[in-house]
Amino acid sequence: MAENFSCSHKNGGDGNHGRACVTLVPIFNHLTTEQMDEIMEVVRTRSYKKGELIYRAEEPSNALYIVNRGQVKMYRLAESGKEQLVRLLSPGDFTGELALFKQSVHEAYAEAVVDSEICQIRSDDLQGLLVQYPTISLKILTEFSRRLETSEKQTTSIATEKVETRIALFLAECVTEENVNEAAIELPMSRKDLASYLGTTPETMSRKLTEFEEAGLIEQGGQRKLYLLDIDQLLFI
């Protein structure tokens, strides 16, 4: 009983697709209800348990995946066998990569971090939609360029900054409008995953955070909670 179609265009029946499948919004929110209906025809949704793989590297890749609920982590396996977390997908984020535009295989693994719900559109279907609604391409293009931007920044950061700095930069990026005053941030992932993302080890993460705390720059409050006491000084390191 692996499949669970919860994101069909038939559900609800109130015609409000925004509510029926809230996370398609970032890509499709500029379309009319009729157009959404057409898109919903080809959307399939499936649930994944925590730890379950949505796809593996080397598998043929032929669909666009959109996170509807939960959280997904994508990681690569290096020659050395070490894995590196490439990106974290939250509701509304999508993946499928170049899968969409050329026949290919996945380069990374996609794994549900918690129980999740993923919407899926097959490449064949998407191709048609893209030609029909050029604005969708623009949306995806924008997302891709944003992601490329992030990835290159990440590369530069790992290539040129020391671990300490990378961690500090990451913490600073966790500050949003909501918590700017509190300076209380919630880490978006475990320290282990964070280490993998930042190209270091859990041990080093732990040590550096402790150093920051001893220097009075931050305060660690439980599992994933942190208080940034002196952001300026933190970034000055």
Residue 223 within binding range of a copy of itself, rule CB under 8 A:
no
Which residue from 48, 84, 86 is spatially nearest to 69, judged by alpha carbons? Answer: 48
- Nearest CB to a copy of itself, comparing residues 16 and 145: 145
Q: Which does 190 bind (CB under 5 to 8 A by kind): DNA, a copy of itself, none?
A: DNA
- Nearest CB to DNA, comparing residues 62 and 204: 204
Residue 111 within binding range of a copy of itself, rule CB under 8 A:
no
Residue 154 within binding range of a copy of itself, rule CB under 8 A:
yes
Selected from 25, 57, 169, 183, the binder of a copy of itself by CB under 8 A is 169
Three-state SS string over 111-156 comes to: EECCCEEEEEEEHHHHHHHHHHCHHHHHHHHHHHHHHHHHHHHHHH
Dist CA 18 CA 28 (whole Å): 10
Please report where in the chains the tokens 């398609």 appear, as a residue: 24
Judge contact between 124 and 99, C-beta under 8 A.
Answer: no
Three-state SS string over 155-201 comes to: HHHHHHCCHHHHHHHHHHHCCCCCCCCCCEEECCCCHHHHHHHCCCC
Q: Where are the alpha helices (DSSP H) in 32-122?
A: 33-41
Q: Which does 220 bind (CB under 5 to 8 A by kind): DNA, a copy of itself, none?
A: DNA
Residue 163 within binding range of DNA, rule CB under 7 A:
yes
Q: Which does 179 bind (CB under 5 to 8 A by kind): DNA, a copy of itself, none?
A: none
Q: Which does 101 bind (CB under 5 to 8 A by kind): a copy of itself, DNA, none?
A: a copy of itself
Residue numbers at the binding site for a copy of itself (CB under 8 A): 76, 78-80, 82-84, 86, 97-98, 100-102, 107-108, 130-131, 134-135, 137-138, 140-142, 144-149, 151-162, 165, 169, 198-199, 235
